[in-house]
Amino acid sequence: MMGAYRRALEIPGAWQFSSTGLVARLPIAMVGLGILLLVKGETGSFAFAGLLSASFQLPAAFGAILTSRWIDRVGQARLLPWLAGGNALLLIAFVVTVQAGLPLPVQALVVAAAGACQPAIGSMVRARWAHAASDGSRRQSAFALESVIDELVFTVGPALTTFLAVKWALPAPIILGAAIGLIGGVTLAAQRSTQPPRAAQRPPEVQTSGRGALFQPGVALVVVVAIGIGAVFGAYEVSVVAFSDQRDAPGVSGLILSLWALGSMVGGLWFGARSWSIPLGRQMVVLPAIVVVALIPPLIAPSLPFLAVVTAIGGASVAPMLIAAFSITERLVPSAQLTEGLTWTNSGLATGFALGTATAGIVVQSYGTTAGFAVATCGGLLATLIGAVAQPTFARHVRPIDVMRLAAPWNDDPLPGPHPGGVIDDAP
């Protein structure tokens, strides 16, 4: 199973930009939870914590779409250091506004600006893979590897965040995340030999007509599915934090969320290294439905150990769903719009995450943690329903896997993306 991933890493420069990307995207798994813990600790309100976390996530989602087009035009080396620097400074400024007790709108404005500057590290790394990997099998294995790395990041990040916040200081994970993001972003930008070409350097045959990637057939439906799945993540994170807090064990929440990501990493490794005969479009119904089933046990969780076990098991359903979502996007958009197309899908995930965080924060404050887990389940049901409705569109417009790709895709954090490691049969 590991041979496919090893072959991908043999590409010149691959292990350097992939390992740098691992470090540089660690803040994605720290900052959102860090905001939640900081605001809850300072105000005692899950509602405020959820709203400010959403104020970070939503601008990050939509800002990534704009910066994806910008980076396509000017290149990673030129823009990435500025994004990383702006994000780091604004995150530290947000910590100051919270600890100084400034009005909520001021805090929201500063954290929103930080989100808008958040670098799309995972997307940029995947763009480098697509530029460097000339054959389809290596590219698929590389994308699956990045999905596993995303989950590794989300295994380490939450545990590190809660440890720093509980044992050291509430602002510590945000400040550390800002520093890591700045160093990682600058280091990745310095690796110029593997960055994909700017738009002006691409061959004429891969230039686009000007119609946005969102308006390609099927892409908007994938984005809505992604919103539902993102809502699962956001609501589940808030609910786990609240569940642990109610049982006077706030530090355990990071461990449980890490188990969720660890389970997802194992599921991604298994899924990404195998060939699947089920059509890719149909996976967009089956895999969200499995996520919904995995969300049933937390609704009846009587204790932290029980929640930890079912979270680890349920997490295994996450990465396959996300790999399928980014895979189908890569097969729906023109080559020259892969950056933008994959960013739209990721922005759907981030938007759903923000909506799930905000909604679950309010619901948990009023009705308890079971209602918060129910919000996560509703997100999974939305994704399954839209995936079912989209079946005819996917059947008509998903391109075969052997179509030559001439441009570089990219996708964004905090969630995994494209391609299972094996060949998918797309026959209806």
Task: Kindly report, residue by residue over 323-340, the tens digit of the pLDDT.
Answer: 888 888 878 887 667 667
- Token pair, residue 76, equals 């990673």
Q: Which amino acid is at 412?
A: D
Looking at residue 413, its pLDDT comes to 39
Separation CA 189–CA 78 (nearest Å)? 8
User: Is the torsion defined by CA of 328, 286, 148, 294 positive or negative?
Assistant: positive
- From 284, 193, 298, select the one nearest 239 (Cα to Cα): 298
Separation CA 113–CA 205 (nearest Å)? 37
Q: What percent of the chain has pLDDT over 90?
A: 40
pLDDT at 407 over 50: no
Looking at residue 210, its pLDDT comes to 57
The residue behind tokens 């000017």 is: 74
pLDDT at 415 over 50: no
Give the H/E segment covering residue 131: helix 121-132
pTM exceeding the 0.85 threshold for the entire prediction? no
Query: For the chain, what are the domain ranges?
Result: 15-199+210-397
pLDDT at 300 over 90: yes
- Token pair, residue 273, equals 């290294």
Give the H/E segment covering residue 48: helix 46-74
Looking at residue 179, its pLDDT comes to 96
Q: What percent of the chain has pLDDT over 70?
A: 85
Q: Which amino acid is at 302?
A: P
- Confidence band for 264, pLDDT divided at 50, 70 and 90: confident
Q: Which amino acid is at 158?
A: P
State whether residue 276 is helix, strand or coil. strand
- Return the higher-pLDDT residue of 423 and 250: 250
Highest mean pLDDT among 116-125, 155-164, 225-234, 250-259: 225-234
Phi (first) and psi of residue 276, to 5 degrees: -130, 130
- Confidence band for 412, pLDDT divided at 50, 70 and 90: very low
Mean pLDDT (the chain) is 83
Looking at residue 425, its pLDDT comes to 35
- Token pair, residue 21, equals 């990307």
Highest mean pLDDT among 53-57, 133-137, 149-153, 172-176: 172-176
Separation CA 83–CA 78 (nearest Å)? 10
Query: Maximum Cα–Cα distance for the chain, whole Å?
Result: 61
Looking at residue 235, its pLDDT comes to 94
The model's pLDDT over 22-59, given as tens digits with 9 standing for 90+, comes to 999 999 889 988 998 999 899 888 888 888 988 998 89
Q: Which of 119-128, 203-212, 298-307, 381-390 is predicted with the least confidence, judged by mean pLDDT?
A: 203-212
pLDDT at 178 over 80: yes
The model's pLDDT over 104-138, given as tens digits with 9 standing for 90+, comes to 999 999 999 999 999 888 878 877 887 777 665 66
Quick one: CA torsion of 72, 73, 78, 83, rounded to 10 degrees?
Answer: -60
At the topology level of CATH, where does 15-199+210-397 sit? Growth Hormone; Chain: A; (1.20.1250)
Highest mean pLDDT among 61-65, 195-199, 404-408: 61-65
Looking at residue 211, its pLDDT comes to 64
pLDDT at 364 over 70: yes
pLDDT at 406 over 70: no
User: Is the torsion defined by CA of 287, 291, 296, 301 positive or negative?
Assistant: positive
The residue behind tokens 């813990």 is: 37
Cis peptide upstream of residue 414 (ω within 30 degrees of 0): yes
Separation CA 145–CA 204 (nearest Å)? 31
Separation CA 38–CA 101 (nearest Å)? 12
